[in-house]
Amino acid sequence: MVTDPRLLKLREELKRRRPEFVRCESWRYKRLKEAWRKPKGIDNKMRLQVKGWPKLVKVGYRGPKEVRGLHPSGLRDVLVHNVEELKKLDPSRDGARIASGVGRKKRMEIVAMAKKLGIRVFNP
């Protein structure tokens, strides 16, 4: 499954043009985080898509289906906890991301084995 580099480039371009989706009036109240929540009030300006208010999340902002969820390198991002999980990966299609709970000793083993198997590690 080799991905088309043009689709990855297109995804980056779309990401650059995509607005930053923020929770309604999160800029107004300190108690509200910016994490996206769908506006649901009957008079909500954002829900009504009034000009000058932030944009709503819609399906049209998605990237190309073939490259959705892939690492910018075009490889699948697979979470790895040990060497055994690393051996199951396909070097042409998968890249490894070492889990945060893995200690230094095992991390060094995973990186060494990945180098031997030709697997790219995203966070060595």
Residue 105 lies in a domain: yes
Residue 80 forms part of a structural domain: yes
Selected residue with higher pLDDT from 91 and 2: 91
Nearest to 1 by CA among 91, 120, 61: 91
**DSSP string over 39-68:** ---TT-TTTTT-TTSPPPP-GGG---GGGT
Q: What is the mean pLDDT of residues 20-47?
A: 97
Range of the domain at 91: 76-117
**Overall domain count for the chain:** 1
Residue 23 lies in a domain: no
Distance between CA atoms of residues 97 and 103, nearest Å: 14
94 belongs to a structural domain: yes
- Give domain status of residue 11, yes or no: no
Torsion of CA 116, 120, 122, 124, to 10 degrees: 20
Report the pLDDT averaged over residues 99-124. Answer: 96
pLDDT of residue 66: 93
Please say whether the beta carbons of 78 and 18 come within 8 A.
Answer: no
Give mean pLDDT, residues 3-8.
Answer: 89
- What pLDDT, on the 0 to 100 scale, is given for residue 3? 76
| pLDDT tens digits, 47-104 | 999 999 999 999 999 999 999 999 999 999 999 999 999 999 999 999 999 999 999 9
Question: Is pLDDT at 1 greater than 80 in this prediction?
Answer: no
Distance CA 118, CA 104 (A): 21
pLDDT at site 4: 86
Residue-wise pLDDT for 9-32, tens only, equals 999 999 999 999 999 999 999 999
Residue 88 within any structural domain of the chain: yes
| Domain presence at residue 34 | no
**Does 124 map to a domain?**
no
Distance CA 64, CA 66 (A): 6
